[in-house]
């Protein structure tokens, strides 16, 4: 935990736009207030700047909340921190094991059994085969799916798939925990269990970066906050200043 750290320096990420009329796209983006990045051209290709010169430094014990409209760059930043996106400009330096709870459906193979999907999700999360097998009984028990774990996931209901994905995704030890909204899956009883499991994961993590629209949640779990708007990040401020940041 003491070694966890994140540093972004002038982080810029662009997404090329192919087969689109640049003028029409520019008009459409102009009508979208605080949503989406800036339209431009680089190396002769029309692109959208999803993140523009983001600077961020976090150390162990930091709990950062990301706020902003849909399309403001929160998820793009989380994915960049997870290693899914490489910078077009600037640098990202993350120390510690990363757990990215961004898409629970990631890596789920509907034709494979529940057990095999737990193994698959574990490998995606960076666990070794030995680590996965050591945690298999605990993960299986938490799902509450019993003998269904030996059946293909395509036979599961949506709720059962959610249980499986959540249990597998949260069976990690993370130095850096990245979350795109607080996760709530399953029925009321399972949600209580899931909430407790998430809290334990957050407490064990060195750094938390949580994107959310829920202000009470933000104030409860975060000690710092940063606002995203059109791919541009505000300075990181104390969570007690979140109301001022929202009015800025």
CA distance 127 to 137: 15
CA distance 34 to 140: 43
CA distance 38 to 229: 11
Q: Give 111-164 pLDDT, tens digit per residue.
A: 999 999 999 988 888 889 999 999 999 999 999 999 999 999 999 999 999 999
Please tell me what DSSP assigns to residue 19: S
Domains of the chain with bracketed CATH: 5-97+210-247 (3.40.50.300), 101-209 (3.40.50.300)
Q: Give 61-90 pLDDT, tens digit per residue.
A: 999 999 999 989 999 999 999 999 999 999
What does the pLDDT read at residue 186? 80
214 CA to centre of own chain: 15
Q: Give 25-43 pLDDT, tens digit per residue.
A: 555 555 444 455 555 655 5
Q: Does the pLDDT value for residue 98 go beyond 70? A: yes
Name the token pair of 176: 């850096």
Locus of tokens 């698959």: 120
- What percent of the chain is modeled with pLDDT above 70? 88
Neighbours of 244 (CB within 10 A): 9
| Reduced 3-state DSSP string for 99-131 | EEECCCCCCCCCCCEHHHHHHHHHHHCCCCHHH
Q: Report the predicted TM-score, pTM, of the whole model to 2 decimal places.
A: 0.84
Name the token pair of 28: 């459409």
What does the pLDDT read at residue 43? 54
- Dihedral sign, Cα of residue 122, residue 144, residue 153, residue 194: negative
What does the pLDDT read at residue 34? 47
Locus of tokens 């760059």: 73
């Amino acid at each position: 935990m003491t070694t966890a750290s994140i540093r972004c320096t002038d982080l810029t990420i662009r997404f090329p736009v192919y087969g689109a009329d640049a003028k029409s796209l520019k008009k459409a983006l102009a009508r979208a207030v605080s949503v989406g990045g800036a339209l431009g051209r680089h190396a002769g290709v029309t692109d959208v700047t999803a993140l523009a010169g983001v600077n961020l430094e976090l150390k162990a014990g930091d709990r950062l909340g990301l706020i902003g409209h849909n399309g403001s760059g929160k998820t793009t930043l989380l994915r960049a921190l997870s290693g899914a996106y490489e910078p077009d400009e600037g640098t990202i330096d993350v120390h510690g094991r990363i757990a990215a709870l961004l898409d629970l459906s990631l890596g789920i193979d509907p034709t494979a059994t529940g057990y095999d999907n737990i193994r698959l999700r574990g490998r995606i999360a960076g666990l070794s085969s030995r680590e996965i097998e050591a945690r298999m009984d605990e993960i299986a028990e938490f799902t509450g799916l019993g003998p269904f774990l030996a059946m293909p996931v395509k036979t599961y209901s949506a709720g059962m798939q959610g249980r499986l994905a959540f249990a597998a995704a949260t069976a990690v030890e993370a130095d850096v925990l990245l979350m795109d909204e607080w996760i709530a899956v399953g029925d009321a009883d399972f949600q209580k269990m899931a909430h407790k499991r998430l809290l334990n994961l957050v407490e064990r993590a060195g750094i938390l970066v949580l994107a959310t629209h829920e202000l009470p949640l933000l104030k409860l779990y975060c000690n710092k906050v940063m606002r995203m708007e059109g791919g541009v990040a505000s300075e990181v401020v104390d969570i007690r200043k979140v109301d001022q940041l929202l009015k800025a």
